[in-house]
Amino acid sequence: MKQGYAGTDFIRVTVKRAFHIRFFLSFFLICLAFFLDTEVSMRQIMLGKYPPTGTEGIVLYLEYVLLYGTNYKLFLIFMTLGYGTSFPADYKCGMVHGFVSRMGIKTYARIQIGISALSGGLAVAGGFLLYFFWMRMFIPVIPEHFRETGMYDWLEAMPYYGDLTQENARLFVVYMLLILFLSGVTWTALAAGFSVYLNHTYLVMIFPYFLSRMYIEAAKMLRLPDEIRIDRWFTGLTQPFPIPVCLGLLLVFCVFICIIGRRIFSKALKWRLENG
């Protein structure tokens, strides 16, 4: 019972720490990363330097970012600012021993990974939404007469679009929001899980980005098909099954990684407490 109360108190304190100013800073930085990958003419419009011509649509520029962008993947670093990097600082200050003695390693690990993963997912989703609403101030999700321009024809064959209309184009934005949220949860859970081994704030921050780059380069060398490349699944660039099935598989994989991250965290923490 005491551990239950301790866990509840710790969750309350942890949530306050996780969703503080650094969490909202990550929103801005992730939004900025998306902005830097946006096509130059659209950036000028977003900065108010030029008016839109009437042919611009959010889905067009967003797909350009996902297909060709590199800066937006910095969300793998910025998403951990909220709480994913908390363990090294807590351990250095001697706070971890007190937490573990009150609630046990398993409960502590469950809360740490859970809150870290949630803060990471919400940071990525929040940054993406901020970017979306920034663009929405100037251009529609898709122009009213978009088929007449011919600019949007190629999008009909892209993942998560289906038959492109003004209505389901908005659904595409929702799908991307869900995918990026699950991506943030998954990668932050991994970073938090290995944070006990790394035990350094900046190493934890860059770990997801470094691991992602290693995976991408290995996938290219092995010539893995897009259908089994996790990085493309988590950026909405492949859809081998119907949309509900793909989203469901991403959710299952996300939960699996969270469980793995918690176990890694628990075992590493037990070892560190026993060996100093």
Give the pLDDT confidence of 13-55 residue by residue, as tens digits: 889 888 889 999 999 999 999 999 999 999 999 999 999 988 8
Residues 131 and 117: their CA atoms lie apart, in Å, by 21
Radius of gyration, CA atoms only, the chain: 20
Residue 135 CB contacts under 8 Å (≥ 6 apart), including other chains: 42, 46, 58, 61
Helix or strand run (H / E) with residue 166? helix 166-198
What does the pLDDT look like over 87-131, one tens digit per residue?
999 998 888 988 898 889 999 999 999 999 999 999 999 999 999
Mean pLDDT check: name the lowest of 102-111, 146-155, 265-274. Answer: 146-155
User: What pLDDT sits at residue 4?
Assistant: 53
What does the pLDDT look like over 153-200, one tens digit per residue?
888 888 998 777 877 888 899 999 999 999 999 999 999 999 999 989
Helix or strand run (H / E) with residue 219? helix 201-222
Residues 1 and 5: their CA atoms lie apart, in Å, by 6
Locate 29 and state its tokens: 């930085």
Using CB atoms within 10 Å of the CB of residue 126, give its burial: 0 to 12 exposed, 13 to 18 middle, 19+ buried: buried
Residues 90 and 112: their CA atoms lie apart, in Å, by 11
**Over residues 207-230, mean pLDDT:** 94
One-letter amino acid at 212 equals S
What letter does residue 203 receive in the DSSP assignment? H
Residues 148 and 67: their CA atoms lie apart, in Å, by 24
Q: Is the dihedral of CA 178, 179, 181, 185 positive or negative?
A: positive
Mean pLDDT check: name the lowest of 2-6, 90-94, 137-141, 176-180. Answer: 2-6
pTM summary value: 0.94
Q: Domain locations in the chain?
A: 2-275
Q: Is the dihedral of CA 253, 191, 130, 42 positive or negative?
A: negative
User: What pLDDT sits at residue 1?
Assistant: 41
Residues 21 and 276: their CA atoms lie apart, in Å, by 32
Residues 102 and 125: their CA atoms lie apart, in Å, by 34
E-only strand ranges, the chain: none
**Over residues 142-162, mean pLDDT:** 84
Q: How confident is the model at residue 6 (pLDDT cuts 50, 70, 90)?
A: low
How many residues are there in the chain?
A: 276
* SS3 call for 24: helix
